[in-house]
Amino acid sequence: MSHTPLVDARVWPLLVFADRQLAEEARAAGCSCGGTLHSARYPRKPRGGPPAELAAEYASRESWCCARDDCRRRTTPPSLRFLGRRVYLGAVVVLVSAMTGGVTVKRAAAIRAQGGVSIRTLQRWRAWWLQTFPRTAFWREVHARFVPVVDERTLPASLVERFGGTAGADHVEPCLRFLAPITILGGDTMAA
């Protein structure tokens, strides 16, 4: 069996940096009421990575709360690390789903050994990509930007190919940046 990691190790720090940038942009924009935003991070216990030295960076998701007592509105910026409310990290969900190409017992066993993802979880992710994602408002709005069109029968592999087609750090980050709008409330969050 291969001991190749599911995700290129260079990806994890890049995603932390990108999320910090998105969080700072949201904080700098302030609250819609004009109030100042203060840190109100969500604790997270993600599965599927990253290496131990970055575990603390992945233990929370950036979020902000308005300081005004009459408002207290929460602002959660898009994230490249976390794909909606899923417990597995976004890079793992996208890349593992892209490489499954149909869940076979052999593939599922290899993926479970490397990333701890069960065959039932792989099947749920595959169903989400093939049945739910193409019907989201997000996808209906953006899919026409791709020429030639992304083959919805092979999502997310066909989408990952548009950003370079490999699990390399240079290609995963742009794909996750493209998917970032679905990571926030009202952005067609991932329920499966």
Encode pLDDT of 152-185 as tens digits: 999 988 888 888 865 555 678 889 999 999 988 6
Residue-averaged pLDDT of the chain: 84
pLDDT of residue 6: 65
Query: To the nearest whole percent, how much of the chain has pLDDT over 90?
Result: 45
* Structure-model confidence comparison of residues 122 and 29, the more confident one: 29
Contact predicate 18/179, CB 8 Å:
no
pLDDT of residue 192: 45
pLDDT of residue 2: 39
Mean pLDDT of 30-55: 90
Q: How far is CA 26 from CA 1, 32, 57, 65, 180, in A?
A: 44, 11, 19, 11, 14
Binning pLDDT at 50, 70 and 90, where does residue 141 land?
very high
* Structure-model confidence comparison of residues 130 and 100, the more confident one: 130
| pTM metric for this prediction | 0.82
Q: Read off the DSSP letter of residue 149.
A: P
Q: Which two tokens stand for residue 159?
A: 């989408």
Per-residue pLDDT of 80-108, as tens digits, reads: 999 888 888 898 888 888 876 666 777 77
Q: Which two tokens stand for residue 192?
A: 């499966």
